[in-house]
Amino acid sequence: MGEFTHFNNRGEAVMVDVSEKKQTVREAIAAGTITMSRACFLKLAEGGMGKGDVLGVARIAGIMGAKKTSELIPLCHVLNLSKVELEFFLLEQECAVKAVCTVRTVGKTGVEMEALTGVSTALLTIYDMCKAVDKSMEIGNICLEKKTGGKSGIYQRQMESGEQ
Amino acid sequence: MGEFTHFNNRGEAVMVDVSEKKQTVREAIAAGTITMSRACFLKLAEGGMGKGDVLGVARIAGIMGAKKTSELIPLCHVLNLSKVELEFFLLEQECAVKAVCTVRTVGKTGVEMEALTGVSTALLTIYDMCKAVDKSMEIGNICLEKKTGGKSGIYQRQMESGEQ
Amino acid sequence: MGEFTHFNNRGEAVMVDVSEKKQTVREAIAAGTITMSRACFLKLAEGGMGKGDVLGVARIAGIMGAKKTSELIPLCHVLNLSKVELEFFLLEQECAVKAVCTVRTVGKTGVEMEALTGVSTALLTIYDMCKAVDKSMEIGNICLEKKTGGKSGIYQRQMESGEQ
Amino acid sequence: MGEFTHFNNRGEAVMVDVSEKKQTVREAIAAGTITMSRACFLKLAEGGMGKGDVLGVARIAGIMGAKKTSELIPLCHVLNLSKVELEFFLLEQECAVKAVCTVRTVGKTGVEMEALTGVSTALLTIYDMCKAVDKSMEIGNICLEKKTGGKSGIYQRQMESGEQ
Amino acid sequence: MGEFTHFNNRGEAVMVDVSEKKQTVREAIAAGTITMSRACFLKLAEGGMGKGDVLGVARIAGIMGAKKTSELIPLCHVLNLSKVELEFFLLEQECAVKAVCTVRTVGKTGVEMEALTGVSTALLTIYDMCKAVDKSMEIGNICLEKKTGGKSGIYQRQMESGEQ
Amino acid sequence: MGEFTHFNNRGEAVMVDVSEKKQTVREAIAAGTITMSRACFLKLAEGGMGKGDVLGVARIAGIMGAKKTSELIPLCHVLNLSKVELEFFLLEQECAVKAVCTVRTVGKTGVEMEALTGVSTALLTIYDMCKAVDKSMEIGNICLEKKTGGKSGIYQRQMESGEQ
């Protein structure tokens, strides 16, 4: 098992040295959901029909949020992202929106945090735009789905039984 | 039931006019959790004992994140927060950390988004600092616990049965 | 005629003291246009029909840009904007998009720069999203249309003959 | 004729993938003007003589603005600019200031937006510093003058007859 | 003697609650110096004569830096500064530049940190612009000179004997 | 002796062209101190024992500050830092804390300003957290200790006699 890498041997936080690491293509895919009341979900789903495009705004927020990752997460390296994409899926049965964020870079560190930050910012923006209708919404299931590139190689999240 | 308030009557996104709203004391409390493997949880719990204070870093990130809310959430008003506090609870049985963020302001709009952004940023920072040990961590249960002040008055989240 | 107010009597730039000014409701409306080839204009106009909503993205960029004014314009005071709205008008004959930004605050200084920055950011975003089709687009006619509130009172731009 | 490149095939905004593009030297030159009353223009022109250096402040704002492009324009990639220069020309007959911004990078995407944002920020700053004297100033003629590097090669703006 | 106010009774960092504090006019004056070689000092002093205005650039950087204080200092409250002024004094004998930053606000907390951040940013900018000539420059004597307003009242730094 | 490099031959500020410079590993180490009353120093020193970790917060602030250098210093290039580390030394006799910041990158320009900004931000944060106990603290001795990489080669600060 690995060790926490963001501390030096005195237990002090440090932005670790990646000078010697290779520049490779790295990709990460993260996902998460926001669950809401049926009434709120139906209103949001209508948005695509010209009544107010919640997901269009959340998509822009998520992309811009991914670019801000190194300002938000103290020990993250600054990375020049070469791609950010956000997809949304309406989960009708659960009255939920699933956000999936794909980030790519050519760099020395992975982009897991950028994909996770993109997802989180998009879901928070949905919350903001829907909160006048439903304050009890819940954001959850935020996790790394997949990661490629870099020394640690491929990571693929195990699907839980019954998971979508 | 309310309507989405972030769109005008043409369905276009707008930062709504709050000029005429009263300045009152407003508070919001949001919470969320990050669940991890037992091995990772034990390492994190040790941190308080001088081996690398993950939660200390996450607390600062969460406070600074709450102050950045209006930069992240497109239609949020800029607010001068008068208090931000982040508490962490180690949930040993679930191998999870619960983050609770309390935000207060004297202003014209509520601080729900600031509390939720504080929680999210703190949890993402924990993910970042622990991901060398466990990449399968999951962030969830992010929700508004309570809100006071403003015209819409008090909101208190219903405790689900079995919830902590 | 007035004097430049952003310099002290030694000719040095200064963020002027507004401590003693009154908090009043202030509003500013600014406008500007981007002119493009007919082919580009038609593509953009189609966007509303689901093929890529250029103006939806530009609206969000303009609102967020207005909130960033004091970071961009060195001697601008930080203001908590209470409203930002961006409207777009398709000028078919000129193959142009007109952007109009309305900003309101309750504060000690006017919001002219915020409205102008909102317009500029929105138009730059349109340029960015259309530049693969037409690089010869031109941004122009950026000006203050109207301003109310504050000691200097109402300003209303004189309509030029033949102006829309 | 090209297509809008900032949307995927579902018409959703995306920060497009440039992972596979080559790093080459890229340069862009953008220009724009601000036109003002004669009285205001004369005051500004005097500034160089120690009475308040409007253009010195605008130059710094423009350079810093160019560096902020990817924060302002939602789908712009983050680029490490290797050069930013801002020149101003006093157009006495028109009572206008022309700003020209040259940006260079070694990267995977062009720097048109950075040059245009540098020009816009500089002109907005001039507006801010002169608005106590003249509120009817107009910003215009913002366009890309030239661009080199990258797959699409050289772009050179056609001089209109009678244009400076 | 007081206690550290940025920790709660569990020793955790917190942005302290100022909701109940009164809005009063608050001012702070901070100062600091940068000392350099005589050759470098003479070059810098010439700058006012059109050869490159180091202090003009540093003044803008200091003003903008003061506005960014709450982004840099984790537990600082966001404040809408109502005045920022930076003065420079050439100390010929010491081959030093003294920077003095005056900040004012009408708010619930003092502006000591804003004045100190303005001074620091201005001095760092001088370092940046002169470092090709002298890398051994030293920044020092950064301290709070005076503070008025707020419950703790007036603070005036004791002049040390022999101090300027 | 060198010349100021941040001005063109008209004496205008410019972000200089580094397109043709080589990417090499570059490192810079900067240091500085904050001196305080004995009472304040003792309280701060206790912090490590669970009563409020001033240095832990200052470390995070310094690391994040170093990443923000190009936003604060007008003519600094944006650099993707590959390492940032902050160490603190308690100087008991002087009642001072010495901060040392080490920054590394693989890039076209040096990281002196990043190391100096990291030190300054850390020391300002210590001031902020201790100012309720002692307002007369002084920040000083901020200088570049060492720099390697790049065309200008190694710089090593001369130790003054009696210096630590």
Q: Which string of DSSP letters, residue by residue, matches A12-55?
A: -B-B---TTS--EEEEEEEEEEEE--HHHHHHHHHGGGTT--HH
Smallest Cβ–Cβ distance between F135 and the set E50, E71, E155 belongs to: E155
- Under 8 Å CB-to-CB from B91, ≥6 apart: which residues? B33, B97, B98, B164
* B53 shares contact with chain E (CB less than 8 Å): no
Cα–Cα distance, E70 to E77 (Å, whole number): 6
CA distance F133 to chain B (A): 21
Interface of A with B in 119-138 (CB under 8 A): 120-121, 124-125, 127-133, 135-138
Substitution target in D83, D90, D111, D121 with the highest count of F β-carbons within 10 Å is D83
Residue given tokens 């509520």 in the structure block: B110
Indicate whether E18 pLDDT > 70: yes
Dihedral sign (CA E34, E40, E45, E48): negative
Contact list, C5 vs chain D (CB under 8 Å): 132
The amino acid at F36: M
CA distance D127 to chain A (A): 28
pLDDT at F49: 56
pLDDT band at A158 (very low <50, low <70, confident <90, very high): confident
Smallest Cβ–Cβ distance between E56 and the set D53, D61, D64 belongs to: D53
Which entry of A17, A53, A128, A134 is annotated as an active-site residue? A128
Radius of gyration, alpha carbons of chain E: 17
pLDDT at D160: 63
One DSSP character per residue, chain A reads ----SSB-TTS-B-B---TTS--EEEEEEEEEEEE--HHHHHHHHHGGGTT--HHHHHHHHHHHHHHTHHHHSTTPPP--EEEEEEEEEEETTTTEEEEEEEEEEEESS--HHHHHHHHHHHHHHHHHHHTTT-S--EEEEEEEEEEE-STT--EEPPPPTT--
Closest residue, chain B, to E19 (C-alpha): B82
CA distance C85 to chain B (A): 5
State pLDDT tens for residues B76-121. 999 999 999 999 999 999 999 999 999 999 999 999 999 999 999 9
* C53 shares contact with chain B (CB less than 8 Å): no
Cα–Cα distance, A73 to A65 (Å, whole number): 12
Q: Binding site: which residues of F? A: 75-77, 113-114
* C47 shares contact with chain A (CB less than 8 Å): no
Output phi, psi for C66, to 5 deg: -60, -40
Largest distance between two CA atoms of chain F = 57
Is there a contact between C52 and D135 if contact means CB atoms under 8 Å apart? Answer: no
Substitution target in B54, B60, B121 with the highest count of F β-carbons within 10 Å is B60
Give me the total of CB pairs closer than 8 Å, taking one residue from chain B and one from chain E: 51
**Segment of D20-24, E11-15, E99-103 carrying the highest mean pLDDT:** E99-103
Indicate whether A98 pLDDT > 70: yes
Output phi, psi for B83, to 5 deg: -160, 140
CA distance D8 to chain A (A): 9
Residue given tokens 């009285």 in the structure block: D39
Cα–Cα distance, A21 to B139 (Å, whole number): 29
Cα–Cα distance, E114 to C77 (Å, whole number): 14
Q: Which residues pair with B87 in a beta bridge?
A: B100
Contact list, E57 vs chain D (CB under 8 Å): 56, 60
Cα–Cα distance, C106 to E19 (Å, whole number): 19
Residue A132 is encoded by which pair of tokens?
């006048």
Phi-psi region of A133 (alpha: psi -120 to 50; beta: other; left: phi over 0): alpha
The amino acid at A81: L
Q: Kindly list the distances between the CA atom of residue E42 and the CA atoms of C82, E31, E36, E48, in Å, as whole numbers in the listed order.
A: 49, 22, 10, 11
CA distance A56 to chain D (A): 8
Output phi, psi for B69, to 5 deg: -50, -45
One DSSP character per residue, D80-141 reads -EEEEEEEEEEETTTTEEEEEEEEEEEESS--HHHHHHHHHHHHHHHHHHHTTT-S--EEEE
H or E element in which residue F120 lies? helix F112-130
Which residues of chain F are modeled with pLDDT < 70?
1, 48-51, 160-164
Global confidence as pTM: 0.96
Substitution target in A1, A4, A154 with the highest count of B β-carbons within 10 Å is A4
Is there a contact between C17 and E81 if contact means CB atoms under 8 Å apart? Answer: no
* D60 shares contact with chain E (CB less than 8 Å): yes
pLDDT at F50: 61
Is there a contact between A82 and D77 if contact means CB atoms under 8 Å apart? Answer: yes
pLDDT at D164: 46
pLDDT at E121: 98
Residue A149 is encoded by which pair of tokens?
């590139």
Smallest Cβ–Cβ distance between A104 and the set D13, D19, D79 belongs to: D19
Which entry of D17, D53, D128, D134 is annotated as an active-site residue? D128
Q: Angle CA(B90)–CA(B92)–CA(B97) in degrees, nearest 5?
A: 35
Q: Measuring CA to CA, which residue among B108, B106, B81, B147 is closest to residue B21? A: B108
pLDDT at A164: 47
pLDDT at C46: 86
Indicate whether D93 pLDDT > 50: yes
Interface of D with C in 140-159 (CB under 8 A): 140-144, 147, 155, 157-158
Q: How many CB atoms lie within 10 A of CB C151?
A: 8
CA distance E104 to chain D (A): 20
**Helices A112-130/B112-130 angle, 10° precision:** 160
Task: Of C56-65, D55-64, D149-158, F82-91, give the lowest mean pLDDT range.
Answer: D149-158
pLDDT band at A133 (very low <50, low <70, confident <90, very high): very high
State pLDDT tens for residues E24-71. 999 999 999 999 999 999 999 987 656 679 999 999 999 999 999 999
pLDDT at E5: 86
Is there a contact between F64 and A77 if contact means CB atoms under 8 Å apart? Answer: no
Strands (E), chain C: 24-35, 81-91, 96-107, 138-148, 155-156
Give me the total of CB pairs closer than 8 Å, taking one residue from chain B and one from chain F: 12
Is there a contact between A12 and F59 if contact means CB atoms under 8 Å apart? Answer: yes
CA distance B3 to chain E (A): 31
Smallest Cβ–Cβ distance between E83 and the set C12, C15, C71 belongs to: C15
Residue D65 is encoded by which pair of tokens?
């603005």
Is there a contact between C74 and E64 if contact means CB atoms under 8 Å apart? Answer: yes
Q: Which chains touch F (3 or more CB pairs under 8 A)?
A: A, B, D, E
Substitution target in B6, B78, B82 with the highest count of C β-carbons within 10 Å is B78
State pLDDT tens for residues C90-142. 999 999 999 999 999 999 999 999 999 999 999 999 999 999 999 999 999 99
Residue given tokens 């953008």 in the structure block: D30
Cα–Cα distance, E117 to E70 (Å, whole number): 10
Is there a contact between E43 and F141 if contact means CB atoms under 8 Å apart? Answer: no
Per the CB < 8 A criterion, the answer to whether E103 and E84 are in contact is yes
- Report the percent of chain A where pLDDT is more than 70: 93
Q: Measuring CA to CA, which residue among A73, A31, A49, A59 is closest to residue A129? A: A59
Substitution target in F51, F57, F59, F60 with the highest count of B β-carbons within 10 Å is F60
Cα–Cα distance, F15 to F19 (Å, whole number): 11
> In this predicted complex, what is the ipTM?
0.96
pLDDT at F98: 98
Is there a contact between E61 and D56 if contact means CB atoms under 8 Å apart? Answer: no
**Segment of B36-50, E2-16, E51-65 carrying the highest mean pLDDT:** E51-65
Q: How many CB atoms lie within 10 A of CB E20?
A: 10
H or E element in which residue B88 lies? strand B81-91
E6 is in an annotated binding site: no
* A60 shares contact with chain C (CB less than 8 Å): yes
Torsion of CA F76, F79, F81, F87, to 10 degrees: 0
Interface of B with C in 69-98 (CB under 8 A): 70-71, 74-75, 77-80
Smallest Cβ–Cβ distance between E4 and the set F60, F120, F129 belongs to: F129
Cα–Cα distance, D114 to D27 (Å, whole number): 10
Cα–Cα distance, C82 to C62 (Å, whole number): 15
Smallest Cβ–Cβ distance between A75 and the set F63, F80, F106 belongs to: F63
State pLDDT tens for residues B130-142. 999 999 999 999 9
Contact list, A137 vs chain B (CB under 8 Å): 143
Contact list, E56 vs chain C (CB under 8 Å): 12-13
Q: Within its chain, how far is the Cα of C68 from the centroid? A: 12
Smallest Cβ–Cβ distance between D83 and the set F12, F13, F17 belongs to: F17
E130 is in an annotated binding site: no
Q: Is C53 a catalytic residue?
A: no
The SS3 call for residue F28 is: strand
- Report the percent of chain E where pLDDT is more than 90: 82
A88, exposed or middle or buried, with CB in 10 Å at 0-12, 13-18, 19+? Answer: buried
Indicate whether E1 pLDDT > 60: no
**Segment of D121-125, E5-9, F50-54 carrying the highest mean pLDDT:** D121-125
pLDDT band at A150 (very low <50, low <70, confident <90, very high): confident
